[in-house]
Amino acid sequence: MDLQRTALPAPPMDLLQHASLFLDFDGTLVELAAQPDGVSVEDRLHDLLARLSIKLEGRIAIISGRPAAQVRKLFRDPPFAIAGSHGHELYWPDGRIVTPTNDGQHDSLLTQMRQLEDRHPGLIVEDKPFGVALHYRLAPQAGDDCIHLAKRLATEKGYQLQTGKMVVELMLPGADKGEAVIALLSQAPMAGARPIFVGDDDTDEAGFRMATRLGGAGILVGAPRATAAVFGLDDVDATLRWLEAAGGAAP
């Protein structure tokens, strides 16, 4: 697939007709925060997703790197599916939860990352259900050390390395956002519907590629860059406005 580097066209207003909508969270629906717990879901977003869920007859899901339980809490037990931890966890709207078992390496990863955290004020280690993330937005001088450590641990422990915006993360292998799209599309109510994936970061590329492969499309949020998405929206605000106009307008 050719990667696009030029500015992408805005998605058409009828793109969500009969579609299944997959939404990244941070940097897509809410602005990136300096710390992972520094975000909240405002009423505007809460109401928008509730209306979209009705319009799309439940064919909507959040696919986030955050733990699924955290996303569910932020949205106050929403009526849609959540894929958390980059697709490792699936929370279905009917209450079913599908998660893998951890592999016993987690504590060792956490210990080594905490040692680095102790040396760099501002560096934040995030303990996640199926991985560990190092956030260096508040300690940019530690970025190289973070990436170096994460690369070494990924090799030693057989973990998957994922870089993002001022964050580097080690994840239990075997899942990505594209796999989450397949899993969610395998069952009602999404089965058979065209997938539309909206996201802003490197981890969303797997979602864009899978959506395209399955007859749908990706929408990149943010500045043009090499991407598998075919449509673009400038920022979080433009994304919310497009979602409202394309199907989630207040009555």
State the catalytic residues.
24
- Give the Cα separation of 197 and 217 in Å (integer): 6
If the CB atoms of residues 117 and 201 are measured against Mg ion, the closer one turns out to be 201
If the CB atoms of residues 26 and 169 are measured against Mg ion, the closer one turns out to be 26
Q: Which one of 133-141, 183-191, 195-203, 210-218 is the stretch in contact with Mg ion (CB under 5 A)?
A: 195-203
Which of 169, 176, 201, 205 is in the footprint of Mg ion by CB under 5 A?
201
Rule CB under 5 A: say whether 222 interacts with Mg ion.
Answer: no
Going by DSSP bridges, is the β-strand pair 89-91/81-84 parallel, antiparallel, or unpaired?
antiparallel
If the CB atoms of residues 24 and 117 are measured against Mg ion, the closer one turns out to be 24
- Give the Cα separation of 179 and 160 in Å (integer): 14
Sheet with 131-135, edge to edge strand ranges: 124-128, 131-135, 167-171, 160-164
3-state helix, strand, coil in the chain (%, to 5): 35, 20, 40
Rule CB under 5 A: say whether 36 interacts with Mg ion.
Answer: no
Which of 169, 176, 200, 205 is in the footprint of Mg ion by CB under 5 A?
200
Q: Which residues pair with 231 in a beta bridge?
A: 219
Torsion of CA 112, 33, 222, 44, to 10 degrees: 140
If the CB atoms of residues 91 and 197 are measured against Mg ion, the closer one turns out to be 197
Q: Which one of 23-31, 35-43, 95-103, 241-249 is the stretch in contact with Mg ion (CB under 5 A)?
A: 23-31
Retrieve residue 150's tokens.
């994460």
Q: Which one of 124-132, 154-162, 192-200, 235-243 is the stretch in contact with Mg ion (CB under 5 A)?
A: 192-200
Residues of this chain that bind Mg ion (CB under 5 A): 24, 26-27, 200-201
